[in-house]
Amino acid sequence: MTGQDKIRIAVIGASGYTGADLIRLAAGHPHIEISALAANTHAGEEMGRVFPHLQTLGLPDLVKSDDVAWGEIDAAFCGLPHGTAQDIIAGLPDKVKIIDMSADFRLRDPDVYKSWYGRDHDATALLKTAIYGLTEHYTEEISKARLTACPGCYPTAALLGLIPLVKGNMIAADDIIIDAKSGVSGAGRGLKQNTLFSEAGEGLSPYAIGTHRHAPEIEQELSLAAGQDIVVNFTPHLIPMSRGELVTCYVRLANSISPADLREQLRNAYKDKMFVNIVPDGVVPATQHVRGSNYCLIGVFEDRIPGRAIVISTLDNLVKGSAGQALQNFNLMFGFDEQVGLTQPPLFP
C-alpha cells in the first residue's frame, strides 16, 4: 500500500494517556497514516517532547483541533474529556469517521447522560446514530458506523464476562456484584491529589462508591442483553500501578447451572474472537498476563457459597480498555480485519 492509499487519521487529545497509546499502536498499523495530532494545551510542541517514548516515530507537531486540515482527514480518534468531546465531534465534517474514546456517546439516553454527567447533551442527533463500540458484541453495527463510542475500561472488562451469561439466562440478573480495580492511568494525565505518588503509592483505595459513571453504562448493556432492567453493585478501586485492570464479578447461578456451564457458555460466545480468551480451569487471570496488549482474559471459579460463582476478567485499561479497542473498531469501520495492528503479545514480566 502506498502512502496515498492509507487512511489519514487525526488524534484529538493526543497529549493524554489514551491518545499516546493510540498513537503507539497506530504507528505500527499498515493502513494508517498519522496526519494530525491535536492537543490545545500543547499546541506548537513536538510530540517527542510531550512523550519522549514516541520521539522516533516522525510524528507531526501538535496543533489546536481547530487548526487541523479536516478536509484531508479520513478518521478521527477522540481522547478528550466528556463534555469537551461532543462539542468538537459535532463540528467535524460528515466525511470524517469518528472513534470516540470519551464518555459522551456511550449512554444512549440523553436524560441518563445528564443525570450522571451533570450537563445536557448538546449533540443528541449524533447520539442517536452512535454505535456502542464493544467490538465483540456489536461487530456488524460497528462495520457500518460513522461514529463509534468506545466503552469505558471497567465496562469493557465487566461486560465481556457478563453479557453472554445474562443473555443465556445462566445467572440471576438481580444479583450481580462487580469489584473492579484499575491502575492510576485510568484517571487520566491531569494533576489530581488522589493519583499523586505519595497518595496512591503503597495503598489500595475505593473511589466513587455507588456513584461511578461507568455503572449506568454497564447497566445499559446488561439490560439490553437481558431484556429487562438490571441494576448492579459496582465499586471501583485504585491500584498503585500505571496500567492494568482486573474485575471480579460475583454472581448467583440460575437453577441447575454450574460454574463449568458458565465457562462453556463464554467459550462458545468467544470461540471466533481472537482478543477474548477464556482461561483453562484452574488458571487465574492476572493483569501481568495482558499488559500492553489488546487481549482480555476471563476465568470462572466456583464460590464457597453454594449456587454462586466468581467471574474474573482482566485487561490493559489503556489498550483493550481504550486505545486498542478503538483501533479494533477502526479496522471494522474501514473494512480491515479487526486484528490488524493489534496482535502484539503481552509484555511479561
Cβ density class 16-42: b for 16+ within 10 Å, e for less: bbbbbbbbbbbeebebbebbbbbbbeb
Cα distance from N-terminal residue to C-terminal residue, the chain: 35
DSSP state, residue 295 = -
> Using H for helix, E for strand and C for coil, what is the string for 42-90?
HCCCCHHHHCHHHHHHCCCCEECHHHCCHHHCCEEEECCCCCHHHHHHH
Q: Measure the CA–CA gap between 99 and 107, rounded to whole angstroms.
A: 15
SS3 (DSSP) at 16 = coil
Residues paired with 182 in a beta bridge: 238, 245
Residue 349, C-alpha cell as written in the block? 514480566
| Helix (H), strand (E) at residue 21 | helix 17-26
| C-alpha 328, offset from chain centre | 11
* Residues 13, 24, 43, 121, Cα dihedral to 10°: -10
List the beta bridge partners of residue 238.
182, 205
Whether 153 is a known active-site residue: answer yes
Residue of 78, 150, 153, 296 marked catalytic: 153
The letter for the amino acid at 28 is G
Of 313, 337, 339, 346, the C-alpha closest to 325 is: 339
Catalytic residues: 153
